[in-house]
Amino acid sequence: MRKLRVAIAGLTACSGCQLSLLNCEDELPGLLEQFEFHFFPMACSPALLEGDYDAALVEGCVSMPHEIALLQELRRRSKYLIVLGTCAACGGVAALRNSDERELLRRMVYGQNAVAAETFNPQPLQSVVPVDAVVTGCPPEKDELLRMLTGLVRGALPVSIDYPVCTECRMHENLCLLTERNVLCLGPLTLGGCGARCPSMSVPCEGCRGPVPEANLKETFEIYNQKGFERQTVLERLRRFCPEWKL
């Protein structure tokens, strides 16, 4: 059987999503039987785009002109363009300070006299190109990555999740941190699929997987409010992983 040709690229982000894939040590030999990771600069050199790809997996935000060019190039060459991780899906940590002036940020980071590269506000991939599927997470769950890849072998795109973190948290029979412990837990607003990793360890959900479809922000904020959390506190927490939240 022909191996699937895949391109894996990282834009503005921490490379953690790509690293999650490389961390699948036990499965990598099996994956190499099924896939040709033809373009994967983080893992193999030389890395040159060449020919068409069955799928391109792209991590990170678009924040520089050359990233737009690379993304468009990947889109042109690939049957499927798959969003890898929360930054690429909705901005994530990379877009945390999008509400601040770029010039101010540049000076804060590089100092008064530095000449910084040409950048603009980090954007999710969908603001530049159409995408075929999203595997969210900061980073994505190993199981989700592997399922997405093995699904591609059968020509299937991953099934999108539409339930929040609370669903799996309840399945684990956890104490509800929000209603019982009065903790600012973003579980009701955040896309599930992580197996409620944090609340299962009594750590409130930070919202790292981005918003769940049909999130009921109004009512959830009502609960936060009753628990004594200010509007600004809630917003800051929400926007840590998704700058689009409005309250």
Site for other proteins in 21-40 (CB under 8 A): 27, 30-31, 33-34
How many Å apart are CA 190 and CA 206, to the nearest integer?
Answer: 8
Binding of other proteins by 162 (CB under 8 A): yes
How many Å apart are CA 78 and CA 80, to the nearest integer?
Answer: 5
Q: Which stretch binds other proteins (CB under 8 A): 6-14, 66-74, 103-111, 151-159?
A: 151-159
For the chain, the residue count is 247
In sequence order, which residues have a C-beta less than 8 Å from that of residue 159 and are 6 or more positions away? none
Site for other proteins in 102-131 (CB under 8 A): none
Read off the DSSP letter of residue 3: P
Residue closer to other proteins, measured from CB, 93 or 166: 166
Beta bridge partners of 19: none
CB 134, min distance to other proteins, A: 15
In sequence order, which residues have a C-beta less than 8 Å from that of residue 198 and are 6 or more positions away? 204, 205, 206
Residue closer to other proteins, measured from CB, 15 or 150: 150
Binding residues for other proteins, rule CB under 8 A, total: 40
Read off the DSSP letter of residue 2: P
- Residues lying near other proteins in the complex (CB under 8 A) are found at 1, 27, 30-31, 33-34, 146-147, 150-151, 153-154, 156, 159, 162-164, 166-167, 170-171, 173-176, 178-180, 187-188, 212-216, 218-220, 222-223
